[in-house]
C-alpha cells in the first residue's frame, strides 16, 4: 500500500481527500501541527507528497525545498491561486506536478497513479549505469557524475534524460515525453514539460552537459552524442 502525506491546512478538504484516497487503497497521513512537517515526513516516509501552497507559518514552496534537500519523493502541488508563476516556481523547486483548485478528484487520482506507476516501475528496474560523454548516469541513485562533479536529479528530470538518451541524436516529440511522464496530456500544461526540461538542462550545465540537450522548436528535444570518426 502506497503512503501519501497530504500537507493541507483546510481540514474539510483534507478529510475529503483522506476519505476518497483511502477508498483507493492509499494510506493517507496529514499534518495537525505545521511546525512539525519535516518530523512527520521523516516518520511517515511517504511514497508521494501533496502540498498546498498557502499554509500556516511557511508556504508550500518552503516545505518543498526542505523535502527536496532530503528526498526525491514525488511531490504534487495544490493551489487555489491563479498565477502561472506558481506553477513555474513549483516545477523549478522540483515538484512533479501541479493541480489547480478547484479540481476534479478523478484528475488528481489519475495524476497520483501515473506518478506512482512511473516511479514504482522505474525503481524496480535492474540497476543500470549509463555513460554519456564523460559522465556516468546512475539510475538508482538519481545522479549524473563526472570525474570532478556530481548532480542529483528528480525522478522527472532523470526520466526525461533516460528517454532522450534512449533516442540519442533523434528528436523526441513533446507529446511523447508528456505521455511517457504523465500518461494523459489533457491534464498537463504544455509549460510543465518546458519547465522540467529547462531545469534538467540547467543542472546539466553545472557539469558541462547542458549544451547537449537541444530544443527543436515546434517538434521536441534531442540528446546529442557526437560520433567519433
CATH number at residue 43: 3.40.50.2300
Model confidence at 227, pLDDT cuts 50, 70, 90, reads low
Nearest-CA neighbor of 219 among 174, 188, 176? 174
Which H or E element spans position 29? Answer: strand 27-30
Give the integer Cα–Cα distance in Å for 109 and 190.
Answer: 20
From 104, 123, 142, the end of a domain falls on 123
H or E element at residue 13 = helix 11-23
Q: Which of 54-58, 112-116, 174-178, 182-186 has the lowest mean pLDDT?
A: 182-186
* Residues 7 and 112 occupy one common structural domain: yes
Q: Is the dihedral of CA 171, 175, 181, 183 positive or negative?
A: negative
* 228 is a domain residue: no
Same structural domain, 213 and 170: yes
Instruction: Tell me: do 10 and 50 sit in the same domain.
Output: yes
Has residue 189 been placed in a domain?
yes
Same-domain pairing of 10 and 119: yes
Contacts of 183 (CB under 8 A, 6+ apart): 110, 113, 114, 117
Let me know if 17 is exposed, middle or buried by CB neighbors in 10 A (0-12, 13-18, 19+): buried
Quote the pLDDT of residue 117: 82
Copy the grid coordinates of residue 33.
Answer: 501541527
- Same domain? For 18 and 76 the reply is yes
CB 154 within 8 A of CB 71: no
Beta pairing, strands 150-152 & 135-138 = unpaired
* Distance, CA of 213 to CA of 197 (rounded, Å): 9
- Regarding pTM above 0.75, the answer is no
Same domain, 78 and 141: no
- Average pLDDT over the chain reads 87
Residue 2, number of CB atoms within 10 A of its CB: 17
Residue 184 lies in a domain: yes
* Any domain includes 229: no
**Would you tell me the crossing angle of helices 155-166 and 105-123 to the nearest 10 degrees?**
60
Tens of pLDDT, residue by residue over 38-50, are 999 999 999 999 9
* Nearest residue to 3 via CA among 46, 34, 51, 32: 46
In a domain, 88, yes or no: yes
Number of domains in the chain: 2
Residues 111 and 216 in one domain: no
Whether 216 and 153 map to the same domain: the answer is yes
CATH (domain of 171): 1.10.10.10
Measured distance CA(99)–CA(78) in Å, rounded: 5
Structural domain that includes position 205: 129-223
pLDDT of residue 188: 61
Residue 84 lies in a domain: yes
Amino acid at each position: 500500500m502506497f503512503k501519501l502525506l497530504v500537507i493541507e491546512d483546510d481540514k474539510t478538504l483534507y478529510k475529503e481527500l483522506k476519505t476518497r484516497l483511502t477508498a483507493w487503497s492509499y494510506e493517507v497521513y496529514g499534518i495537525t501541527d505545521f511546525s512539525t512537517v519535516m518530523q512527520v515526513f521523516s516518520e511517515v516516509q511517504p511514497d508521494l507528497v501533496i502540498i498546498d501552497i498557502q499554509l500556516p507559518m511557511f508556504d508550500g514552496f518552503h516545505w518543498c525545498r526542505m523535502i527536496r534537500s532530503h528526498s526525491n519523493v514525488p511531490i504534487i502541488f495544490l493551489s487555489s491561486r491563479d498565477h502561472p508563476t506558481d506553477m513555474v516556481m513549483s516545477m523549478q523547486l522540483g515538484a512533479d506536478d501541479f493541480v489547480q483548485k478547484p479540481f476534479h478528484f478523478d484528475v488528481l487520482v489519475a495524476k497520483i497513479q501515473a506518478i506512482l506507476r512511473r516511479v514504482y516501475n522505474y525503481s524496480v528496474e535492474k540497476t543500470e549505469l549509463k555513460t554519456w560523454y564523460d559522465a556516468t548516469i546512475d539510475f538508482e541513485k538519481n545522479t549524473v557524475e563526472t570525474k570532478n562533479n556530481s548532480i542529483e536529479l528528480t525522478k522527472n528530470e532523470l526520466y526525461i534524460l533516460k528517454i532522450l538518451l534512449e533516442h540519442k541524436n533523434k528528436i523526441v516529440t513533446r507529446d511523447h515525453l508528456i505521455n511517457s511522464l504523465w500518461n494523459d496530456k489533457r491534464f498537463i500544461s504544455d509549460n510543465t514539460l518546458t519547465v522540467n526540461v529547462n531545469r534538467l538542462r540547467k543542472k546539466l550545465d553545472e557539469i558541462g552537459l547542458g549544451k547537449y540537450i537541444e530544443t527543436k522548436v515546434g517538434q521536441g528535444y534531442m540528446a546529442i552524442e557526437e560520433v567519433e570518426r
